[in-house]
Amino acid sequence: MKAAGFSLIEVLVATAVVAVGVASLAQLIVVSAHANRIAMTTSISLLLAEQKMEELLGDPGDPGDPRTESTQDHVDYLGPSGGSLGRTTISGPSGTPPLGTAYVCRWSIAPLPDSPGTAIVIQVSIAPWPDISGQTRLVSVKTRKGS
């Protein structure tokens, strides 16, 4: 008379099938967590670029405001929450960012070549630090209001 239950071979085969399934799910979790980090970094970069563009598109403040004249190659170093850690003006490769830098924001304001007296081009580029390969770039043209 045969006893009810599973043989050792059946248990080993079932265990192997479950182990392969769990290993595949573990890889999927790692890949999805990496994709989630990239998506979050991209979203934050875009938000920071939009905020900087809105700041630069606003009305110029004091006469010393950098938006009142053509400016090139400004760099803002931003922390993980987007707060400023410092600003520099560069004329070549940038130096070492301050400790705690999570994003590097490069921006410039230049006259539009076809109409230098009436329009300016504003460029903002945000990249996560230290991997600056995945950058977000926004470009806008602002014209002088007609009188």
Please, which residues have CB within 8 angstroms of residue 95's CB and are 6 or more apart in sequence?
A: 88
The Cα 5–Cα 11 span in angstroms is 10
Is residue 9 assigned to a domain?
A: no
Is residue 25 assigned to a domain?
A: no
Is residue 21 assigned to a domain?
A: no
pLDDT digits (tens, 9 = 90+) for 32-82: 999 998 888 889 899 999 999 998 888 655 444 555 555 667 888 888 888
Is residue 6 assigned to a domain?
A: no
Is residue 5 assigned to a domain?
A: no
Is residue 14 assigned to a domain?
A: no
Is residue 2 assigned to a domain?
A: no
- Tell me the residue range of the domain where 70 lies: 33-143
Count the domains in the chain.
1
Strand order in the sheet with 103-111: 84-89, 71-78, 103-111, 119-128, 136-143
pTM of this prediction exceeds 0.75: no
Is residue 131 assigned to a domain?
A: yes
